[in-house]
């Protein structure tokens, strides 16, 4: 009888352990690898370094576009910043974001509301949906701007000289490259 109880107890503990959520530590999903995966922007490191790393590698700006990554600045409450991908542009001052590790540790949120509250309408101050209160967060968050998923266009640095009709002997306009 005692052996049967031990087997039942061991099976019960095993079954219960599968139901109990244990917080992950090293396996917690972070915003930067998630943003890299969903946006295709190949930047590594903490979120607060993405804006600087994008310089010269990706176009950056202050206009929301689908697929762009909104780079948040580091702050006291976000010491390593945050990055989130724009999943929909609602208006010039409202977007929907898809991101990880914002409202819930390691959680993914899709299509959550974010609004530009910056005085210059340049997305440098943003309020974002915060799940635990079911509304936009109570405070705004400083942001750097958007990193666009397409690599910057290569610019031909070769000088261009346009010859006038008089310079080309009357043969019409020619361009020399």
> With 80 as the cut, is the pLDDT of residue 167 above it?
no
Average pLDDT in the chain: 81
Q: Which domains does the chain have, with CATH numbers?
A: 24-147 (3.90.1720.10)
What's the pLDDT tens digit per position in 125-149?
Answer: 999 999 999 999 999 999 999 999 9
Span 43-79, pLDDT tens digits? 999 999 999 999 999 999 999 999 999 999 999 999 9
d(CA 83, CA 58): 15
Task: Compute φ and ψ for 13, nearest 5 degrees.
Answer: -65, -45
130 beta partners: 135
Beta strands in 51-160 (DSSP E): 60-61, 69-72, 82-91, 94-100, 108-116, 125-130, 135-136, 141-147
Which whole-number Å values give the CA distances from 78 to 15, 48, 171, in the listed order? 38, 9, 65
Dihedral sign computed on CA atoms, order 89, 95, 101, 103: negative
- Range with lowest mean pLDDT among 21-25, 27-31, 122-126: 21-25
The rounded percent of the chain whose pLDDT value lies above 70 is: 69
**Listed range (15-19, 74-78, 123-127, 168-172) with the worst mean pLDDT:** 15-19
Whether the per-residue pLDDT at 38 is higher than 60: the answer is yes
pTM here?
A: 0.71
Taking phi over 0 as left and psi of -120 to 50 as alpha, with beta for the rest, 53 belongs to alpha
């Amino acid at each position: 009888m005692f052996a049967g109880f031990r087997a039942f107890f061991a099976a019960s503990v095993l079954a219960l352990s599968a139901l109990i959520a244990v917080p992950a530590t090293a396996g917690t999903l972070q915003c930067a690898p998630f943003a890299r995966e969903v946006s295709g922007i190949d930047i590594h490191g903490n979120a607060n370094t993405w804006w600087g790393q994008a310089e010269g590698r990706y176009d950056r700006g202050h206009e929301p576009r689908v697929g762009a990554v909104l780079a948040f600045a580091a702050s006291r409450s976000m010491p390593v910043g945050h990055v989130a991908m724009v999943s929909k542009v609602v208006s010039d001052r409202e977007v929907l974001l898809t991101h990880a590790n914002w409202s819930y540790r390691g959680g993914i949120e899709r299509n959550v509301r974010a609004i530009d509250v910056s005085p210059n309408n340049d997305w440098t101050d943003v309020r974002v949906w915060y799940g635990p209160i079911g509304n936009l967060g109570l405070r705004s968050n400083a942001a750097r701007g958007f990193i666009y998923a397409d690599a910057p266009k290569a610019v031909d640095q070769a000088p261009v000289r346009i010859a006038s009709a008089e310079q080309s002997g009357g043969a019409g306009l020619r361009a020399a490259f």
